[in-house]
Chains A and B, each alone.
Chain A
């Protein structure tokens, strides 16, 4: 499709701005004026509406397609939470209002939403308190890693290393590195969990923390998690819980009870706020009692009279990690979702998410290699290693799924599995949808055997075929230029 920049006509406008009603004709000083005007589109409102409406139709989305993208929890996003987030009483609040003298009283509604969300999340995870400030999961990880650093500094020695398993998300080591740590990677054992003997070898007084996802990215719950936590604690290291996979265990297990000291959650995964094409997300961080004092400021406090206020009184806090109190409208949607589901609803989420994953796993294990074939949690990993022998890769299968209206699983992750396909159906998908998906995957497996070239040519039904990514990175074209330049 042509770009919005290519659709206009000189002098066309898409928006009427108010007439100047102030009796003044001040000239913006020439010295500070931009010389070249920006080459922005010159289009009508209909041009814009048609353009972006048509672009929207060139995407797969949860509302249009099954989207079993592993580790991303692409569940249905309810509509009532959108309605709540659009209430002017929430959208029109300036974030600095509560920071003005006596201003807290002007934003009691928003402060209460944040406070109550923190309460919910604390109970769900078994932590003592939360900050809602981190703006994404990786931002939460960085916040957590900084809390780890502050804790150890407070105790006299910052320490040097953070341990992660090789199945971890790439953000874990990246966040640890940005917080100033060196990363030690532990391999996966034959059961799909972090190799505990290798872990013991690397665990020293220099280790500041251990970052784990539980269930891990292979969809497996590590039964030895408590032993790992005890070992880490025995050398004074902190246990960090990456909450990417919390959907599997809500109401079934709580990180705080099984030895984790810090957790981050992804509200856009577990708590059903829309992924927005890659953001905005929200990555709140919870900690145990001992670490509360290190949480970012300001925190939200409830006063004895029942009102809420910003609290800056934490002198050991890591400081400010975001301009304000987090991605408020995302927090609001997650809060509404939790209130709606309540206790039984949330437990049901975990149960059906795990049921759906196991159902698909069992139906597919005859056709694809399952590296760790035991009962999984909310997701599982297949390998296309059998198909690879015939020249068909996980990528080929992914493109075949696209041609048939299904968003592919996460592929080539975790890195510890060759030709990995990580499948997370989520709880909101029906048996019928899963059956169709399974059928399609079996079809792909058959084609891999009988007609590999069919898969190599996919996708054929999309606006474009497979795109040349090497060319994209080599001949960088990152923006449009007008012809006259």
Chain B
């Protein structure tokens, strides 16, 4: 049984209708020399057995750790209604809404998602979502190159290293010049960005808060970049946008980011949600699906996929992107999450993240030999200098039941003793205090 409903009698009837005598007759085009040389798979198992087997495997993951690890991917609380609604199979067993009349539910939900992302980022329009924050940043980079007709990118090294690496992989076969600029006192080095900005620059790529957790106001960078005709792309953390100055407010041209924190589980890296918003004038250069509102002939409001002439199924090799899907179900979770939290809730969650991180900084000040870096304000994540190699401290803390944070030496040479610590609204005062005591004990060892 493979979810196949056919009875033997039905199979016989169907073969007779087709006019063949056996199933094998349907595979005549697969000649002898095209048949498998091997197909050595185990026989099937019952539902019960498969579930038990995978429960056992899941228990080999250390999910008991109290999480202070972030680095772009955060342990936020997910309201139960997010799971309940996104589990409606009328949503999750549908496909891309090519046929609008029987997909109005999906199309309206995406239109609402686009509205929420536009509001969050302070920009005019959003697409229907992309794979993840990293590929969204790459798509934004290509979009800026298309808009400006230039091919130089100035990128802040405060942008998540994983994202920078993805950008380099994707553009390795294209003629694009990248320059990376430093982070000074926690923030983007204006001096270096301005040094490299010129009339060949397509875009400056920034992140806010940056990888070290520091917040910034990039308005000055935007002004300078625009004076050279370059665009500015900011990769942002959506929960922070509950209180943080938006890409729109500082004049950014494109905002992207990872939407995982908007109601998606960490789930070992995916599925996640790439979001992208931009100014009105660039919408026709934006990749990905876009939903628009329109009317039927009786004047009833409805929603359709629009601006499809940019896309691969029409434009093929001349398309704005090869992307043929969005992360619709993840986008649905995000808009449900944002609706539940609402205007006030999102701000309050952001405030709570900020307060708890600030509290944790103060608590850490009491640990001898530990120095919290305070050269610039942060949101819910900050950098700490430990008296010894951070990677070793991380593994000792894991044994005590904590995911301490991200050892910065992994990405930044010379930062072997630095750790990046994230504190979300889920961490209680008690957890934070015990966490500090455990760290103290580990460092005394």
Chain A min CB distance to B345 (Å): 5
Q: A42-B343, A320-B162 are in contact. Are A344 and B44 (CB under 8 A)?
A: yes
9 contacts between A and B (CB under 8 A): A14-B340, A39-B343, A48-B340, A278-B326, A338-B41, A348-B4, A354-B27, A355-B23, A479-B111
A328 and B268 form a contact (CB under 8 A): yes
Would you call A235 an interface residue if the criterion is a C-beta within 8 Å of the partner chain's C-beta atoms? no
Bound-complex Cα distance A320 to B28 (A): 42
The binding surface of chain A is classed by DSSP as loop
Cβ–Cβ < 8 Å partners of B352 in chain A: 17-18, 20
Which of A18, A42, A170, A177 contacts B324 (CB under 8 A)? A170
Beyond A126-B36, A358-B20, 13 additional pairs, beta carbon < 8 A: A4-B339, A18-B425, A89-B63, A93-B63, A94-B67, A94-B69, A142-B322, A169-B313, A173-B312, A174-B312, A355-B11, A431-B14, A472-B292
Cβ–Cβ < 8 Å partners of A320 in chain B: 162, 165-166, 169
B101 and A96 form a contact (CB under 8 A): no
B2 and A427 form a contact (CB under 8 A): yes
A90 and B267 form a contact (CB under 8 A): yes
**Closest partner residue, chain B, to A429 (CB atom):** B5
Would you call B193 an interface residue if the criterion is a C-beta within 8 Å of the partner chain's C-beta atoms? no
Would you call A62 an interface residue if the criterion is a C-beta within 8 Å of the partner chain's C-beta atoms? yes
Of residues 261 through 288 on chain A, the ones whose CB sits less than 8 Å from some CB of chain B are: 272, 274-281
Most buried by B among A36, A375, A428: A375
Chain B min CB distance to A158 (Å): 7
B53 and A174 form a contact (CB under 8 A): no
Cβ–Cβ < 8 Å partners of A156 in chain B: none
Cβ–Cβ < 8 Å partners of A35 in chain B: 245, 249
B270 and A330 form a contact (CB under 8 A): yes
Cβ–Cβ < 8 Å partners of B11 in chain A: 355
Most buried by A among B28, B266, B349: B266
Would you call B342 an interface residue if the criterion is a C-beta within 8 Å of the partner chain's C-beta atoms? yes
B294 and A107 form a contact (CB under 8 A): no
Which of B89, B322, B332 contacts A174 (CB under 8 A)? B322
Sorting the interface of chain A by its residue count into under 10, 10 to 19, 20 to 34 or 35 or more gives 35 or more
Q: A23-B359, A319-B169 are in contact. Are A277 and B322 (CB under 8 A)?
A: no
Q: Which of B131-139, B177-185, B226-234 contacts A (4 or more CB under 8 A)?
A: B131-139
A325 and B268 form a contact (CB under 8 A): yes
Bound-complex Cα distance A62 to B135 (A): 29
B343 and A1 form a contact (CB under 8 A): no
Q: Which of A77-85, A195-203, A384-392, A444-452 contacts B (4 or more CB under 8 A)?
A: A77-85
Most buried by B among A56, A176, A254: A56
Chain B min CB distance to A413 (Å): 7
Bound-complex Cα distance A295 to B380 (A): 36
Would you call B57 an interface residue if the criterion is a C-beta within 8 Å of the partner chain's C-beta atoms? yes
Q: What sequence of 0s and 1s flags, for each residue 48-69 of chain A, a beta carbon within 8 Å of any chain B beta carbon?
A: 1101111111111111110101
Chain B min CB distance to A224 (Å): 10
A430 and B312 form a contact (CB under 8 A): no
Cβ–Cβ < 8 Å partners of A171 in chain B: 312-313, 322, 324
A254 and B94 form a contact (CB under 8 A): no
Which of B4, B50, B124, B244 contacts A80 (CB under 8 A)? B50
B81 and A322 form a contact (CB under 8 A): no
Of residues 269 through 300 on chain B, the ones whose CB sits less than 8 Å from some CB of chain A are: 269-272, 283, 289-298, 300
B44 and A74 form a contact (CB under 8 A): no
Q: A75-B3, A84-B54, A476-B306 are in contact. Are A322 and B97 (CB under 8 A)?
A: no
B391 and A465 form a contact (CB under 8 A): no
A343 and B42 form a contact (CB under 8 A): yes
A34 and B96 form a contact (CB under 8 A): no
Would you call B195 an interface residue if the criterion is a C-beta within 8 Å of the partner chain's C-beta atoms? no
Of residues 338 through 356 on chain A, the ones whose CB sits less than 8 Å from some CB of chain B are: 338-349, 351-352, 354-356
Q: A20-B355, A33-B245, A136-B323 are in contact. Are A149 and B173 (CB under 8 A)?
A: yes
B290 and A137 form a contact (CB under 8 A): no
Would you call A141 an interface residue if the criterion is a C-beta within 8 Å of the partner chain's C-beta atoms? yes
Which of A89, A327, A341, A399 contacts B101 (CB under 8 A)? A399
Q: A61-B91, A278-B97, A359-B18 are in contact. Are A258 and B269 (CB under 8 A)?
A: no
Chain A min CB distance to B100 (Å): 5
Bound-complex Cα distance A26 to B61 (A): 36
Chain B min CB distance to A29 (Å): 5
B92 and A14 form a contact (CB under 8 A): no
Cβ–Cβ < 8 Å partners of B27 in chain A: 252, 354
Bound-complex Cα distance A15 to B262 (A): 14
Bound-complex Cα distance A234 to B63 (A): 52
Most buried by A among B3, B96, B242: B3
B99 and A101 form a contact (CB under 8 A): no
A120 and B41 form a contact (CB under 8 A): yes
Of residues 79 through 133 on chain B, the ones whose CB sits less than 8 Å from some CB of chain A are: 79, 81, 83-85, 87-106, 108-109, 111-112, 114-116, 118-120, 122, 124-126, 128-129, 131-133
Which of B2, B325, B358, B429 contacts A345 (CB under 8 A)? B2
Of residues 236 through 260 on chain A, the ones whose CB sits less than 8 Å from some CB of chain B are: 249, 251-254, 257-258
Q: A402-B99, A472-B306 are in contact. Are A59 and B104 (CB under 8 A)?
A: yes
Which of A22, A137, A183, A430 contacts B5 (CB under 8 A)? A430
A40 and B102 form a contact (CB under 8 A): no
Q: What sequence of 0s and 1s flags, for each residue 436-470 of chain A, a beta carbon within 8 Å of any chain B beta carbon?
A: 00000000000000000000000100111111110
Would you call B330 an interface residue if the criterion is a C-beta within 8 Å of the partner chain's C-beta atoms? yes
Cβ–Cβ < 8 Å partners of A136 in chain B: 131, 323-325
Q: Which of B150-158, B366-374, B392-400, B437-445 contacts A (4 or more CB under 8 A)?
A: B392-400
Q: What sequence of 0s and 1s flags, for each residue 1-42 of chain B, a beta carbon within 8 Å of any chain A beta carbon?
A: 111111000110111011110010111111101111111111
A177 and B269 form a contact (CB under 8 A): no
Would you call B346 an interface residue if the criterion is a C-beta within 8 Å of the partner chain's C-beta atoms? yes
B4 and A427 form a contact (CB under 8 A): yes
**Closest partner residue, chain A, to B395 (CB atom):** A102
Cβ–Cβ < 8 Å partners of B298 in chain A: 465
Bound-complex Cα distance A40 to B346 (A): 9
Bound-complex Cα distance A457 to B25 (A): 42
Q: A36-B122, A358-B26 are in contact. Are A106 and B4 (CB under 8 A)?
A: no
Chain B min CB distance to A344 (Å): 6
Q: A22-B356, A49-B85, A320-B162 are in contact. Are A135 and B6 (CB under 8 A)?
A: no
Chain B min CB distance to A59 (Å): 4
Chain A min CB distance to B6 (Å): 6
Of residues 16 through 45 on chain A, the ones whose CB sits less than 8 Å from some CB of chain B are: 17-18, 20-26, 28-29, 31-43, 45
Cβ–Cβ < 8 Å partners of B283 in chain A: 476, 478
Which of B90, B244, B307 contacts A473 (CB under 8 A)? B307
A59 and B90 form a contact (CB under 8 A): yes
Of residues 232 through 269 on chain B, the ones whose CB sits less than 8 Å from some CB of chain A are: 241-246, 249, 265-269
Cβ–Cβ < 8 Å partners of B381 in chain A: none
Cβ–Cβ < 8 Å partners of A4 in chain B: 112, 335, 339
Q: A53-B85, A94-B67 are in contact. Are A280 and B330 (CB under 8 A)?
A: yes
Bound-complex Cα distance A264 to B89 (A): 27
Bound-complex Cα distance A1 to B241 (A): 29
Would you call A175 an interface residue if the criterion is a C-beta within 8 Å of the partner chain's C-beta atoms? yes
B61 and A413 form a contact (CB under 8 A): no
A467 and B34 form a contact (CB under 8 A): no
A375 and B26 form a contact (CB under 8 A): yes
Would you call B375 an interface residue if the criterion is a C-beta within 8 Å of the partner chain's C-beta atoms? no
**Closest partner residue, chain A, to B125 (CB atom):** A478
Chain A min CB distance to B353 (Å): 10
Chain A min CB distance to B141 (Å): 12
